[in-house]
Amino acid sequence: MPGVRKAVITLAAFGAGVGIAELAGAVNLGTAFGVGQIAFVLALLAVMLWI
């Protein structure tokens, strides 16, 4: 099940990134998704290197 754990971590990072961007006043949902994608990539990098 380690693959499931990694997927959950990265998807949670995407959701958190979108949510934080919306709360911070993102202009539209596309901008918030862009921030979520950046958070996803950073979490994916962390998962690949450390976990």
Q: Which pLDDT score is estimated for 20?
A: 97
| Number of separate domains in the chain | 1
Rounded to whole angstroms, how far apart are CA atoms 36 and 39? 5
pTM score of the predicted model: 0.89
Q: In terms of residue numbers, what domain contains 18?
A: 2-50
Q: Which pLDDT score is estimated for 32?
A: 97
Query: How does DSSP assign 7-43, residue by residue?
Result: HHHHHHHHHHHHHHHHHTT-SSHHHHHHHHHHHHHHH
Which of the pair, 1 or 31, is modelled with greater confidence?
Answer: 31
19-45 pLDDT tens trace: 999 999 999 999 999 999 999 999 999
Mean predicted confidence (pLDDT) in 10-26: 96
| Residues belonging to the chain | 51
Q: State the burial class of residue 36 (Cβ atoms within 10 Å of its Cβ: 0-12, 13-18, 19+).
A: buried
